[in-house]
Amino acid sequence: MRAMLLCAGLSTRLGPLGAAIPKPLLPVCDLPILRYGIALLTAHGIRDIVINLHHRGELFREELGDGSALGARIHYVEEPVILGTGGGLKNALRLLDPDGTDEPFLSMNGKLIFDLDVAALLAAIDPAAVGTLVVRRVPDARAWGAIQVGAGDRVTDMLGEGAHMFCGVHVLRPSTVRRLPDGEACMIRQGYLPWLRAGELIKAFDAGDVYFQEHSIPARYLQSSLDLLAGARLRHPPAAPLRGVDESAHVHPTARIQHPVRIGPGSHVGEGASVGPGAVVGAHAIVEPGAVLERAVVWPRTRVSGTVRDAIVTSQGLVPASPVRVPG
């Protein structure tokens, strides 16, 4: 099976964070978000991965290369004009279906950290369905674009009533994507919703009570690092430490480290500084003497001083972000 990671958005809701780095490359516990999605896919034997690029596309190539270091074969497709969740898939069909065999593929938003049981999802696929959407039950489903699920896991409504949210992961066939209009298209509004109203079968797969986080706003981005520091369960994490002090980090003997923390390789923590609980210091970052970090993320190669709580520190400045969980 092949997969596509959707990464061509502008990340505008993240403000200065998204302007500096595309959302799928934001560091969570000092690793780009996209590394988590790739680790999930390769752990389930999905190695041929397509990534669409628009905003700062060169950063993806620099970070991931051809994917071989991550056990993947990564193919890139450029989107000079953003085509949306459906149009992006249609634009990539030559890579998703190179042999014309119309085998199903998995599409996943590149902004997710998700402990999804991909094997169970694939085992639940109904070949008669035009698509299978991964959903989860949340108390405010309408705010997320509600999905209504009926008997036999059949989707009966979208963007109306329902108790579930669509998680940004689905399985479908290239022949289904070819039915979308050319150019910009939303997979839900120009695809699944009109097909549902025409009586076609769309199935839902409930992901259950597993870890899920998307990173569209600074608060959720900060919360993600705090969750993983606190031990949120990921059955297939990236092959790199998410917690602890890297052996190449330099921590002054008088600095106070309050776990959980992640202090990355080559970083420096100065005299009398206090780091944690709930703090990430990125690779080669510098924590000045006397600085205080709590519930904070310091990006790689960034210098930080003073007291920082509930915030992200980048080379362009500090972004406040009270952590908040996704409901459910």
Average pLDDT (289-299) is 98
Q: Which domains does the chain have, with CATH numbers?
A: 2-214 (3.90.550.10), 243-320 (2.160.10.10)
Residue 326's pLDDT band (cuts 50, 70, 90): very low
Contact yes or no for 188/115 (Cβ under 8 A)? no
Residue 323's pLDDT band (cuts 50, 70, 90): low
Q: What is the pLDDT of residues 204-261, one digit of tens each?
A: 999 999 999 999 999 999 999 999 999 999 999 999 999 999 999 999 999 999 999 9
How many CA atoms within 13 Å lie on the side-chain side of 39?
A: 17
Amino acid at 95: L
**Whole-structure pTM value:** 0.95
What are the distances in angstroms from CA 21 to CA 7, 54, 63, 81, 100?
Answer: 12, 12, 12, 18, 35
pLDDT value of position 55: 82
Q: What is the pLDDT of residues 101-144, one digit of tens each?
A: 999 999 999 999 999 999 999 999 999 999 999 999 999 999 99
Ordered DSSP codes for 47-71: -EEEEEE-TTHHHHHHHHTTSGGGT
What are the distances in angstroms from CA 43 to CA 3, 18, 116, 262?
Answer: 13, 28, 11, 24
| Residue 305, token pair as written in the block | 């001083």
Pairing of strands 250-251, 268-269: parallel
CA pseudo-torsion sign 116, 265, 68, 5: positive
Give counts: helices (H), strands (E), the chain.
9, 25
